[in-house]
Chain A
């Protein structure tokens, strides 16, 4: 007799440990067998994407780390011996206390990846751990190039708590500007979330387009949401030049008086100066820069300016040296056209409540706070100095200035894959006294660790609540942790207790921690467990459904108004009015260095993995076996490349390999690769590859010193050459044998 149970939980393919699609997990005789979408979950209403449906293979993945390992060889040697959890945690606790004693708490760095979610339980617990330890150096590569740098500009230019997100539901014009158009979380879509800023939500876009809204794609490649005849217009922009397009659109809109006069009069200052300033940024000026015909630029500008309910989703990860011209211009554009916080435009998201507990930041000693790495960066100061700037952390490790960090705790992150440049990261890891990596699978970073701790997947972990908008949802344990793996939250609690911090960590009581996390919304874990399938809806607050909340949004701006001439930015060396600077590696550079006019960038998201996650999952990997670079057929012909060839792409900074995919939907002067490729897939006989130069990592092609001056955002635009090459070298994993 089969013993089958169905357990409601959440998927963890997008925002690990965060608010995700609802899932029903099938368990038969103690084995997790398959999943289906939970029709009662408002985010996905029964749907699941490819990633979500590979959950079972992800859990039973033979590639997983299975037991704690202690490094025995030198750094990077990956010589490990299995150890007990007891011994590993005791040793880590002792060494952390010792380092704190000898060198100060600020020399202990916490590095956490996107894989372990932002802002949720993981995040708060780990911040609290670091604060009690006495350090605030909580950082990673991702936030230094992705969401936060641009957010800094938005807050400076138009205020508000977060990004203004597209109100797809009511829009008559939808502009997807250098986004993945839903590829980041294709099943997310039925509910209002902050996500609509992190990921476009395809269902809402499709619904609206079917009702007659126009969809405009601004991207070097034609993305899937624009397929099947859906794109009203595709503007194949040259990568890195978005600031020029935005300025030209602004020029047209102001010249043709398509602005919202009453809004400007009431809520903006400095319009006349802006008007004079953008005069020279005509579409004709932008044409040779962006590679887009002036007439197309004019048309899109007119459409945006004259459509009352028009929304924009702009990439949260533009990754430009010239981030400022793009971010400042687009934010300004939304404001002066009256699309800000109005139905169908870009509106602000206020959740009905927050799940949280104190991170005990007052415990961080003053000296430690003052020594925050990267505090010289405006972006770090502007965000309240809560987290270090990761490139500054690496620099400090390398140079010992202003001091040498000693230990790095890496939870669900792989800086060797994400950092620019990876070789420098490898060197930096080698200089630390203690490296601890906690992850579900082996990564290139694990081989630099003194201790590798095997995390259980969320499907094997205890209850984790998450809240978006007003919906409270619960992730639950499907099966017990496999092998000798453990829930990283429980591990953190235990580590804290071993270090003598039990009083601040609920004496290790997991349920007590979750209940405190839930306390602000007045729900207990048991109440939520009883409603695990449908979740709990909190009462909506008044502000959630209001629009034109300008007084609240602009509260922190001078005079409570948008400063079109931005003195605050000027004061820290920025541009008071948006100026186009461009990326450093432009056509002029190509000419100077006698290189072909060929640009490279990488796409931010794809349907079948979340950044580097899940590339080793057979169901997903069989859909794309190798890292690919998209190349226009004419360009391919010019360089003697055929579909499926391994190619070598070389920039002034390094070389990577990829398989050529001929794609007529990309600019002839642009190549688009993918980041996060190094995993092998033993089931399909595919080897692991290196994230270093000559391997399969686009980060070796970029120069990490090409940073936006205020935000520190790092360029992912570079000039390259391409030629036929051999497959990349195989990396032999060593952690496996344990």
Chain B
């Protein structure tokens, strides 16, 4: 059974928001809704020795997802391949998942229900295509594939670039990896 994962090659992200708007375009998500991807744009350091950081933040597709653990309504579930799926009909809008997710990857929609988090584009992956953001990123900053296959592009890239997930301390075992993870995780605003 493949275990899908995503690698964000931070060095290649230009911060264009192609993935952010592309995701909404593909899933016909309304403007004003939280969407599934956020772009982080922060600057650290003191002028002129500053560093600007640009990278997308999405649901980490955790193996031990905090969101699923706290959901009392089985609205937030892992499918048979381990991808996190939101069942809108079952969601009562309690917001526990928003509080629980250590990555701030969940947000409430304007209709009061949990925003459908990223599901790695289930529809596309089932048809053998990569998730939409991966296909559309103009710079190839996103790599998708099977983490269980040591020879897949993603596995090789993770090894070569010494990528790792953000905040392993939470022990949710994310399937999304970042190059320069140690640097960028300091910049992520935590969910309150």
CB-nearest residue of chain B relative to A681?
B31
Docked complex Cα distance between A202 and B136 (Å): 15
Given contacts A228-B13, A619-B31, contact A48 B22 (CB under 8 A): yes
Whether, in the assembled complex, B112 has its beta carbon less than 8 Å from a beta carbon of chain A, the answer is no
Whether, in the assembled complex, A623 has its beta carbon less than 8 Å from a beta carbon of chain B, the answer is yes
Docked complex Cα distance between A53 and B45 (Å): 34
Whether, in the assembled complex, B132 has its beta carbon less than 8 Å from a beta carbon of chain A, the answer is yes
Interface residue total, chain A, C-beta cutoff 8 A: 55
Cβ contacts under 8 Å, B180 to chain A:
228-229
Cβ contacts under 8 Å, B20 to chain A:
50, 623
Given contacts A186-B16, A224-B14, A230-B11, contact A203 B139 (CB under 8 A): yes
Docked complex Cα distance between A632 and B46 (Å): 10
Among A31-39, A302-310, A415-423, A715-723, the stretch in contact with B: A31-39
Q: Do residues A49 and B16 form an inter-chain contact, with CB atoms below 8 A?
A: yes
Interface string of B25-55 (1 = CB under 8 A from A): 1101011100000010001111110111111
> Which of B39, B43, B54 interacts with A663 by CB under 8 Å?
B43
Whether, in the assembled complex, A665 has its beta carbon less than 8 Å from a beta carbon of chain B, the answer is yes
> Which of B22, B31, B39 interacts with A53 by CB under 8 Å?
B22
Docked complex Cα distance between A209 and B14 (Å): 13
Q: Do residues B139 and A608 form an inter-chain contact, with CB atoms below 8 A?
A: no
Interface string of A312-324 (1 = CB under 8 A from B): 0000000000000
Q: Do residues A50 and B17 form an inter-chain contact, with CB atoms below 8 A?
A: yes
Given contacts A49-B18, A53-B21, A227-B53, contact A37 B47 (CB under 8 A): no
Docked complex Cα distance between A225 and B24 (Å): 24
Whether, in the assembled complex, B93 has its beta carbon less than 8 Å from a beta carbon of chain A, the answer is no
Whether, in the assembled complex, A276 has its beta carbon less than 8 Å from a beta carbon of chain B, the answer is no
- Name the interface residues of A177-203: CB closer than 8 Å to any CB of B: 182-183, 186-189, 202-203
Cβ contacts under 8 Å, B140 to chain A:
47, 203
Whether, in the assembled complex, A550 has its beta carbon less than 8 Å from a beta carbon of chain B, the answer is no
Whether, in the assembled complex, A510 has its beta carbon less than 8 Å from a beta carbon of chain B, the answer is no
Given contacts A56-B25, A227-B53, contact A684 B12 (CB under 8 A): no
Docked complex Cα distance between A56 and B12 (Å): 27
Q: Do residues B31 and A684 form an inter-chain contact, with CB atoms below 8 A?
A: yes
Given contacts A53-B22, A665-B50, contact A224 B15 (CB under 8 A): yes
Q: Do residues A33 and B18 form an inter-chain contact, with CB atoms below 8 A?
A: no
Interface string of A37-52 (1 = CB under 8 A from B): 1000000101111101
Given contacts A202-B139, A664-B50, A667-B47, contact A36 B15 (CB under 8 A): no
Min CB–CB distance B8 → chain A (angstroms): 11
Docked complex Cα distance between A48 and B24 (Å): 13
Docked complex Cα distance between A47 and B11 (Å): 17
Whether, in the assembled complex, B137 has its beta carbon less than 8 Å from a beta carbon of chain A, the answer is yes
Cβ contacts under 8 Å, A203 to chain B:
138-140
Whether, in the assembled complex, B92 has its beta carbon less than 8 Å from a beta carbon of chain A, the answer is no
Whether, in the assembled complex, A622 has its beta carbon less than 8 Å from a beta carbon of chain B, the answer is yes
Cβ contacts under 8 Å, B21 to chain A:
50, 53-54, 619-620, 623
Interface string of B104-118 (1 = CB under 8 A from A): 000000000000000
Cβ contacts under 8 Å, A665 to chain B:
43, 47, 50, 52
Cβ contacts under 8 Å, B52 to chain A:
222, 224, 226-228, 665
Min CB–CB distance A25 → chain B (angstroms): 11
- Name the interface residues of A611-666: CB closer than 8 Å to any CB of B: 618-623, 632, 663-666
Interface string of B129-143 (1 = CB under 8 A from A): 000100111111000
Docked complex Cα distance between A202 and B137 (Å): 12
Whether, in the assembled complex, A117 has its beta carbon less than 8 Å from a beta carbon of chain B, the answer is no
Docked complex Cα distance between A36 and B8 (Å): 21
Whether, in the assembled complex, B6 has its beta carbon less than 8 Å from a beta carbon of chain A, the answer is no
Whether, in the assembled complex, A236 has its beta carbon less than 8 Å from a beta carbon of chain B, the answer is yes
Whether, in the assembled complex, A607 has its beta carbon less than 8 Å from a beta carbon of chain B, the answer is yes
Whether, in the assembled complex, A210 has its beta carbon less than 8 Å from a beta carbon of chain B, the answer is yes
Min CB–CB distance B172 → chain A (angstroms): 25
Q: Do residues B54 and A224 form an inter-chain contact, with CB atoms below 8 A?
A: yes
Q: Do residues B45 and A664 form an inter-chain contact, with CB atoms below 8 A?
A: yes
Q: Do residues B53 and A206 form an inter-chain contact, with CB atoms below 8 A?
A: no
Whether, in the assembled complex, B58 has its beta carbon less than 8 Å from a beta carbon of chain A, the answer is no
Min CB–CB distance B35 → chain A (angstroms): 9
CB-nearest residue of chain A relative to B179?
A228
Whether, in the assembled complex, A556 has its beta carbon less than 8 Å from a beta carbon of chain B, the answer is no
Min CB–CB distance B178 → chain A (angstroms): 11
Whether, in the assembled complex, A580 has its beta carbon less than 8 Å from a beta carbon of chain B, the answer is no
Min CB–CB distance A48 → chain B (angstroms): 5
Q: Do residues B53 and A228 form an inter-chain contact, with CB atoms below 8 A?
A: yes
> Which of A49, A53, A619, A668 interacts with B47 by CB under 8 Å?
A668
Cβ contacts under 8 Å, A683 to chain B:
31-32
Docked complex Cα distance between A685 and B181 (Å): 38
Min CB–CB distance A93 → chain B (angstroms): 41
Min CB–CB distance B119 → chain A (angstroms): 17
Whether, in the assembled complex, B10 has its beta carbon less than 8 Å from a beta carbon of chain A, the answer is yes
Q: Do residues A621 and B31 form an inter-chain contact, with CB atoms below 8 A?
A: yes
Docked complex Cα distance between A618 and B15 (Å): 19
Cβ contacts under 8 Å, B14 to chain A:
182, 186, 202, 206, 224-225, 227
Q: Do residues A607 and B139 form an inter-chain contact, with CB atoms below 8 A?
A: no
Cβ contacts under 8 Å, A621 to chain B:
31
Q: Do residues B28 and A34 form an inter-chain contact, with CB atoms below 8 A?
A: yes
Q: Do residues A46 and B135 form an inter-chain contact, with CB atoms below 8 A?
A: yes
Q: Do residues B17 and A623 form an inter-chain contact, with CB atoms below 8 A?
A: yes
Q: Do residues B43 and A664 form an inter-chain contact, with CB atoms below 8 A?
A: yes
Whether, in the assembled complex, A600 has its beta carbon less than 8 Å from a beta carbon of chain B, the answer is no
- Name the interface residues of B46-92: CB closer than 8 Å to any CB of A: 46-48, 50-55
Whether, in the assembled complex, A554 has its beta carbon less than 8 Å from a beta carbon of chain B, the answer is no
Docked complex Cα distance between A225 and B47 (Å): 18
Docked complex Cα distance between A56 and B45 (Å): 40
CB-nearest residue of chain A relative to B48?
A236
Cβ contacts under 8 Å, A224 to chain B:
14-16, 52, 54
Q: Do residues A618 and B32 form an inter-chain contact, with CB atoms below 8 A?
A: yes
Min CB–CB distance B179 → chain A (angstroms): 9
Q: Do residues A53 and B25 form an inter-chain contact, with CB atoms below 8 A?
A: yes
Q: Do residues A47 and B47 form an inter-chain contact, with CB atoms below 8 A?
A: no
Q: Pick from B25, B39, B43 the residue with the most CB of A within 10 Å.
A: B25
Docked complex Cα distance between A620 and B35 (Å): 13
Cβ contacts under 8 Å, A236 to chain B:
47-48
Whether, in the assembled complex, A57 has its beta carbon less than 8 Å from a beta carbon of chain B, the answer is yes
CB-nearest residue of chain B relative to A181?
B14
Q: Do residues A53 and B12 form an inter-chain contact, with CB atoms below 8 A?
A: no
Q: Do residues B136 and A53 form an inter-chain contact, with CB atoms below 8 A?
A: yes
- Name the interface residues of A220-248: CB closer than 8 Å to any CB of B: 222, 224-230, 234, 236
Q: Do residues B32 and A622 form an inter-chain contact, with CB atoms below 8 A?
A: yes
> Which of A34, A186, A228, A608 interacts with B25 by CB under 8 Å?
A34
Q: Do residues B16 and A50 form an inter-chain contact, with CB atoms below 8 A?
A: yes
Q: Do residues A684 and B54 form an inter-chain contact, with CB atoms below 8 A?
A: no
Q: Pick from B10, B21, B45 the residue with the most CB of A within 10 Å.
A: B21
Cβ contacts under 8 Å, B28 to chain A:
33-34
> Which of A189, A209, A228 interacts with B138 by CB under 8 Å?
A189
Q: Do residues A684 and B32 form an inter-chain contact, with CB atoms below 8 A?
A: yes
Docked complex Cα distance between A668 and B20 (Å): 31
Q: Do residues A37 and B43 form an inter-chain contact, with CB atoms below 8 A?
A: no
Interface string of B143-178 (1 = CB under 8 A from A): 000000000000000000000000000000000000
Min CB–CB distance A6 → chain B (angstroms): 13
Docked complex Cα distance between A622 and B14 (Å): 19
Docked complex Cα distance between A56 and B140 (Å): 24
Docked complex Cα distance between A667 and B46 (Å): 11
Q: Do residues B12 and A187 form an inter-chain contact, with CB atoms below 8 A?
A: no
Cβ contacts under 8 Å, B15 to chain A:
224, 227, 607
Given contacts A187-B16, A224-B16, 16 further A-B contacts (CB under 8 A): A36-B132, A47-B136, A56-B25, A57-B31, A186-B18, A202-B139, A224-B54, A229-B51, A618-B31, A619-B31, A622-B32, A663-B43, A664-B43, A664-B47, A665-B43, A666-B47
Q: List 10 A-B contacts (CB under 8 A).
A: A36-B135, A47-B136, A48-B22, A55-B25, A229-B11, A236-B47, A665-B43, A665-B52, A668-B47, A683-B32
Top 9 nearest A-B pairs (CB, nearest first) are: A618-B31, A47-B138, A186-B16, A187-B138, A227-B52, A50-B21, A50-B17, A53-B25, A53-B21
